[in-house]
Amino acid sequence: MLNIPAIRWGKPYDSLEKEEVVHFSTGEPIAQLSQVGGGILKRDMRFAQRAREALLQFSPEEILDKLATAGKLYLEADLPIGDGSQTPEAFVHAQSASTGLPEHMCRGNMQKNAFVLQNMPKILDSLTRGLDLNILSRGYGKEPGRDVMLSYQVQSPVLGAVLPSNSPGVHTLWLPAVALQLGLVLKPGGKEPWTPYRIFSAMVEAGLPAEAFSLYPGAGGDVGAALLSSVDRAMVFGGQQTIDQYHGNPKVQPHGPGFSKILLGDDVVDDWPQYLDLMVQSVFANSGRSCINASGIWASRHTKEIAQAIAEKIGPTEIKDPTDDEASLAAFTMPGMAPAVWGMIESDLAEDGVTDYTASYGERLVQMERCDYLKPMVVHAENPEKQVASKEYMFPFVSVVECPQEEMIKKIGYSLICTAITADEKFAKDLVNATHIDRLNIGPIPTHKVDWLQPHEGNIIEFLFRSRAYQSAPVQVAAT
């Protein structure tokens, strides 16, 4: 069994308190993860500037090269972790075993992380709109061909992140920080320490300075809260309560439920069967766990037929062993969570005008000895006022909502991703101007098909750097 210490500016710290990471279905311990308290993190943050200075020893180009190497190592190498090492397959197996995510999905998420590491130059070129990274590194400079001084002030020497246990794909969001020469302070999820530790290991093996990285596993309420209060720029992944808690806090970028949606315009809705596969995939990919999965499909008509058709596709899905390449459902590994979610859904279904189109495919809640599953659900809401129209759950669950097109933008609420399938220019223009839609797709683009060259829930460059004035004039120093 692996013994995984905390990492304090690159140095392992073996805590006296450890939590076992266990296999979700067998209960077999996979690793012992050191647990540290918030006080340790707070004290370590006195030295956060050293993490940035360690990265500033390299040029941005050198760091990008090392990140590309790290991406390859992350994907292919046997890398150290704690008192042992891990092959890519062992990593996939461990991640699946502790999170309940099928192994082929873990491999898919690995590809995403590696892609971002290996394509960082393009991603940053896009997010910075082509800015020379040396200007961010030095803090100021002139762009070639323009005699205008630019200055960007880094807002923190490190980026912190309180990471989730349920979605290994989100790690792509904090990776650019290293390329921007900010250290990383991570609180790994209790059930998914694997990705942050493997990325840390790959980066160090690739030649990046270990002292730029800290990983503090521990209780969210303690070390997570300490991280968010003592780092000047941090991300947190959590539920709606977390989002609400940190809303408006300029130091914290909260990531949570996406409430992503597909809108079918009146001009295309009669041809809905043409978009059935797109809708199914948007709901079903990655076991419906991501914020980029569609939780709502909105149309002015044919909604019952759409619900019926999606239900026919995903309703019969069976639970399969996570090592099976055909497995498409992830287990709920946290005790009591699936029954609690099911309780909320039952309450949603009790409302008049709400119909469960997957009811005929058998019990949705499947409780096992050590984990539970929720099988895919398609629910029809006859109008947007139904409670279920604004719900998102962490499994393939979608509400198909009947709503006149002219009311859609007003009624859909916050949507991380909105795919509007329409050629109606007026509708598209109104969607562009809507302030509660983050990523907007106009046309038949699945919600989970994310273009890495586009910002996600805000541009990380704008989160980490602030544009400011910088003027300089020569100073004459008397000869000594």
Instruction: Note the residues at the interface with another protein (CB under 8 A).
Output: 15-17, 35-37, 39-40, 42-43, 46, 225, 228-229, 241, 244-245, 249
CB of residue 120 to another protein, shortest distance in Å: 33
Backbone dihedral region of 443: left (phi > 0), alpha (psi from -120 to 50 degrees) or beta? left
What is the Cα–Cα distance from 122 to 58, expressed in whole angstroms?
Answer: 19
We find the least distance from the C-beta atom of residue 229 to another protein, in angstroms, to be: 6
Residue 43 C-beta: closest distance to another protein, Å: 6
If the CB atoms of residues 17 and 267 are measured against another protein, the closer one turns out to be 17
Q: How far is the CB of 214 from another protein (least distance, A)?
A: 15
Per-residue tokens: 168: 């290994």
What is the nearest approach in angstroms of another protein to the Cβ of residue 42?
A: 6
Contact 256, 237 (CB under 8 A): yes
- CB neighbour list of residue 171: distance below 8 Å, 6 or more residues apart: 113, 163, 195, 196, 199
**Least distance between another protein and beta carbon 478 (Å):** 36
Q: Which helix (H) or strand (E) holds 49?
A: helix 48-56
Ordered alpha helix ranges (H), 224-361? 225-230, 240-246, 276-284, 303-314, 337-349
DSSP string, 183-233: EEEEE--SS--HHHHHHHHHHHHTT--GGGEEE--S-IIIIIHHHHHHSSS
Task: State in angstroms the smallest separation of the CB of 399 from another protein.
Answer: 28
Contacts of 249 (CB under 8 A, 6+ apart): none
User: CB 14 → another protein: shortest distance, Å?
Assistant: 10
We find the least distance from the C-beta atom of residue 237 to another protein, in angstroms, to be 16
Cα radius of gyration rounded to whole Å, the chain: 24
Q: Tell me how far apart the 2 most distant CA atoms of the chain are, in Å.
A: 91
| Closer CB to another protein, 337 or 434, in the complex | 337
Name the DSSP class of 307. H
Closest Cα partner for 76 from 232, 206, 255, 207? 206
Judged by beta carbon, residue 245 or residue 355, the one nearer another protein is 245
- CB closer to another protein out of 229 and 459: 229
* Inter-residue contact 391 to 354 (CB < 8 Å): no
The first and second tokens of residue 324, run together, are: 């099976």
Q: How far apart are CA 48 and CA 50, in angstroms?
A: 5
Name which of 59 and 240 has its Cβ closer to another protein.
240
What's the residue count for the chain? 480
